[in-house]
A and B are shown apart, each in its own frame.
Chain A
């Protein structure tokens, strides 16, 4: 048997230098910033590729977004050699919060690969713009799949149909924990940024390069793999998506007030060599106390 694999991806602002633009007050200039496949989505695509190479499978990639989000799907296809691309695009989906987004993604995943049930769904850790990390687990819950977050490594037992995953649980100010967990398929995996697949046998490396070559060909003509679905094709109740389906709203956005001035700084000009050397003396005095 092979696996039915799904990947959720997102078109996001590209935060890398040269692509990103900031307003003078330090906030993101969205109009001037380019968009591309989100960094965490790329890692999720890589996990799907690894799964396809190692266990065999049919990979479906989906995204909810405006028509231009198809470039994120193309980029993901190049990484994971997707067999199918789904774009959920509809004006009614605009401004959805995570719950309303999860509703669309759930319905879309049910329609993947001619309606076959998925075995593993991958998502990124979080989007780098919204940053909530909620959409993945909420989609998992709506699908009824076991959710495994912060997964840094995994293997699949095809015969017994379960997954073995390693998770990094960070509890700030307390401990970090590495957990090994076993769960029956189907599962939903939010992949951790620390995940790094290794193709450690010759046969895996050969399969990998074969699929990568195929991925390149496919991504060049990605539109032939692309299905664009609106709320009607997804059979979605308009009251459950977009703004009507969103419990939360953004009420206001404001600048965070400046911190109280807690110290009066001594100002040293950058060309004041003696001033800088005095600071070095001060540093050394302080730590020798």
Chain B
């Protein structure tokens, strides 16, 4: 009889532990009362994951959008239409700008207060301690906010994620499980492309089940690359709970003041060009001379110049001029930079890591110049010129100059090719 009781207690203990963590919290960003579009991409992926989750585990856990700002209440309905089951918003003049310290405290309080979910899921409220999962955007706001919130919640964070899976995993780990195999249920597998774009690292946030260092690590959280996921189609028939959170502020924190915010136009406007010429590591034999060659080609075609991600790491020794004009993050094409869809995309010396391809493969017509016929870029291009850029580009330049000369003779304006 005694044995049975003990077993029962242990079981309860295990169940209780799991019940402390519920729902997927999505941290929404907006600017001047307009939702940042990538927030809706996160909500879309959250919706897909939790639909699958609830079906698989026969549960009723929610996608909860957390939204802080000033005058943002009216955006709540849209968050429901785009996939949230519930919205918790805090609307206050002190929240006009996303000041890291203030936002971190409020988000952390919402995430650890059982009253937050009182209306949303009363059945889970008694045991609730923290969210099960949490999503942030991997932009200049969310990247830092996710770091500080997770430091406050004392749990793990994976950054720059572009694929997510929830599954039960058998884990055998020296520290986490003391070498035993233990099944971790409902684990969020967070896939992160590395800097080269060729490797995917899967990050897990796991409780320490090793008795010597036992500790629970929840929520399992990540920041998501803008553009990585698709939003769901806006569905105005969707309904959900919208609940207001009344934030408290620490006097000391209100001394942090945003004096001014100015929108700046990105000097690189890919959208205004019909042609984009991008270069990658293939310029290496004579980086500066090759960039000059590409510059000349781009000028003749009236094209904007892009770069691949590895190039942005300043891997070549260039003169200050070329370095400051071309080796800048705002020229990176790919999921870690910008997605482009010009009429013609010319990839010079780019092998084609998937994160680059995802940023340009929807261009109308794609030409690659590369000596290696096995480069992945060949699978997404229309014309593959197999050769060294040093040999190929001069031929193109010569031909373009010849033709523009002919056009001049016909008194037609030069260099109007690409202009919109």
Contact = CB atoms under 8 A, between A and B. Distances in A.
Given A98-B157, A102-B151, A277-B399, A133 B382 contact: no
Contact of A247 (B29, B206, B226, B257): B206
Contacts of A16: 314-317
A182 B257 contact: yes
Interface residues of A, number: 93
Nearest to B287: A17
Contacts of A273: 395
A46 B188 CA distance: 40
Contacts, number: 309
A282 interface: yes
B157 A259 contact: no
Contacts of A102: 151
Interface stretch (A22-30, A78-86, A203-211, A228-236): A22-30
A31 to B, nearest CB: 16
Interface-central residue, A17, A250, A256, by most chain B CB under 10 Å: A256
B232 interface: no
Interface string A252-289: 11111111111101111111010111011011101110
A234 B345 CA distance: 54
User: Secondary structure at chain A's binding surface: helix, strand, loop or mixed?
Assistant: mixed
A137 B203 contact: no
Interface stretch (B1-9, B44-52, B111-119, B171-179): B171-179
Contact of B199 (A27, A99, A248, A258): A27
Contact of A17 (B315, B353, B368, B386): B315
Contacts of B159: 131-134
Contacts of A247: 154-157, 205-206, 217
Interface string A144-174: 0011111000000000001010011111111
A204 to B, nearest CB: 21
B156 A246 contact: yes
Given A175-B31, A175-B264, A193-B329, 11 more contacts: A133-B159, A141-B151, A142-B151, A164-B259, A176-B265, A180-B260, A247-B157, A251-B202, A252-B201, A266-B382, A283-B367
24 contacts: A15-B315, A22-B196, A25-B198, A26-B353, A99-B156, A128-B195, A133-B159, A134-B159, A138-B151, A176-B263, A183-B255, A239-B215, A244-B208, A247-B205, A247-B206, A251-B169, A253-B202, A254-B202, A256-B199, A258-B379, A269-B385, A270-B387, A270-B392, A287-B274
